[in-house]
Structure 1
Amino acid sequence: MSQNPFARFARWLGLDRNPLRRRCDRVEALVRLVAVLGFMAAVVFGMALSVRAYDDGVRTEAQQQRSRHQVTATLVEDVTTPRLSAAGAAVGHAQARWTAPDGVQRTGVVDAAPSKHAGDVIRVWTDEHGTLTPRPQDRETTVVAALTVGTGVPMAASAGLAVLVLLVRTVNQRRARRAWEAQWSVVEPMWRINGR
């Protein structure tokens, strides 16, 4: 038996034209070949989606940089009891006052560090009308989103294809075992007779 990994891989895919392969072996090899081709297609599709997600993210970054503004807000009360943010930092809430980019005075509840008190100044993000908004999307978020899409598609496809290959292999092994048992039940009594 060849130790060449390419020859072993070709044999695993059923590309070696082995005349001893049963029909079920050929079906299993065909399913493995389809799984390998499906994985390769998923990698290409994932890369295309990743590039598209990155381009969309860059456009979102530019649009949000144009439409969102960082302004100075003055706290009008002490920060309330802090809670943990999604990033794991302690954040509290407080009423604040700020001037919108269009010159109108606004008030609202803002996130602030627990150490802030009434009269302290913080920076907040608003749209052009002064409504509080999240900070604009940054490049790191864009890259992470693109990588998530680019790796998620092939990983999901490989998981599904692996389940398919294992399912076909399990069915084939059960059928082969049943066929072997049926053939053995015919041959074994003859061996007993001839053995006496």
Structure 2
Amino acid sequence: MDRRTRSTTANPLRRGADRTRTRLHVAFAVACALAVVCGVMIGQSVWNHGSGAAEEIARHRHTAMATTTAGTRYVASSGVSGLPVTVAAATWHYPANRAHTQTVPVPDGTRKGDAVRVWLDDNGDAAAAPPATVDIAASAIGYGTGALCGIVLAAGAVVFVRLRIVDAHSIKAWEAEWADIEPLWSGRLRPGRGAGDD
């Protein structure tokens, strides 16, 4: 085998700027890998916390059948969607000897006197349903993806700015070197030198 193919010396044409660019690309790849790990860990943490909270809420939630005492109307949602919610006044007994009358969310098309299922807390008052598994999963995916994207974008911005700086320095160095070499390469005389000077 030719000794030149086994040489471990650095490429003489490879400049410091080239090595810096390579290091920056490697650093960005590492940052992307770390972003995936962080995204998964944050998503898992949100899932675990959300699942635990949902289980705790579910222990203090009960369902009962209620009877609407009035027609439906729409109210503004307090949730993320902001869509109006159909509600109606309804009455129920929970515990069995205690009557409650409150305005509760009901399906569209519910009429006065219809039976509806309501979620209640330990005191028998109307309460929100425990978080659904799909909502917990969506939240975990959202936080995990947000963390991943945030890290990748931050690392990308830093690498982009650093590459622009390296490119600017490389162009200035190239122009300075060319200013020294171009007169010799082209045969153009430098100022102050005579035709017979060497």
TM-score with structure 1 length normalisation? 0.74
Q: 1:171 aligns with which of 165, 174, 180?
A: 165
Matched, 1:51 2:54: no
Determine which structure has the larger helix proportion and give its number.
1
- Per the alignment, residue 151 of structure 1 pairs with 145
Percent identical residues: 25
- Tell me, in whole angstroms, the C-alpha distance in 2 between the residues paired with 1:17 and 1:61: 60
Stretch of structure 1 that moved more, 35-44 or 101-110: 101-110
What are the ranges of 5 or more consecutive residues in structure 2 without an aligned counterpart?
Answer: 1-8, 190-194
- Tell me, in whole angstroms, the C-alpha distance in 1 between the residues paired with 2:21 and 2:96: 68
Q: 1:81 touches 1:114 (CA, 8 Å); kept in 2?
A: no
Give the secondary-structure state (helix, strand or coil) at the position aligned to 1:143.
helix
Residues 106 and 40 of structure 1, relative CA distance in 2, 3 Å threshold: same
Matches within 5 A, 1:31-70: 31-70=24-63
Q: CA deviation at 1:126?
A: 1.4
Q: Which has the larger radius of gyration?
A: 2
C-alpha distance after superposition, 1:160-190 (max 9, x if no partner)? 1112221111111122222223333444455
Aligned-residue CA RMSD (Å): 3.1
What are the ranges of 5 or more consecutive residues in structure 1 without an aligned counterpart?
Answer: 1-15
Matches within 5 A, 1:71-90: 71-81=64-74
Aligned length: 180
Q: CA deviation at 1:89?
A: 8.0
Q: 1:193 aligns with which of 176, 188, 191?
A: 188
Q: 2:68 touches 2:88 (CA, 8 Å); kept in 1?
A: yes
- Tell me, in whole angstroms, the C-alpha distance in 1 between the residues paired with 2:142 and 2:20: 34
Matched to 1:149, the amino acid is Y
C-alpha distance after superposition, 1:7-32 (max 9, x if no partner)? xxxxxxxxx95443323333332222
Q: 1:46 touches 1:150 (CA, 8 Å); kept in 2?
A: yes
- Tell me, in whole angstroms, the C-alpha distance in 1 between the residues paired with 2:10 and 2:95: 74
C-alpha distance after superposition, 1:33-91 (max 9, x if no partner)? 22222222222222222222222232223212211111222211111257788679874
Q: 2:120 touches 2:127 (CA, 8 Å); kept in 1?
A: yes
TM-score with structure 2 length normalisation? 0.73
- Tell me, in whole angstroms, the C-alpha distance in 1 between the residues paired with 2:91 and 2:97: 12
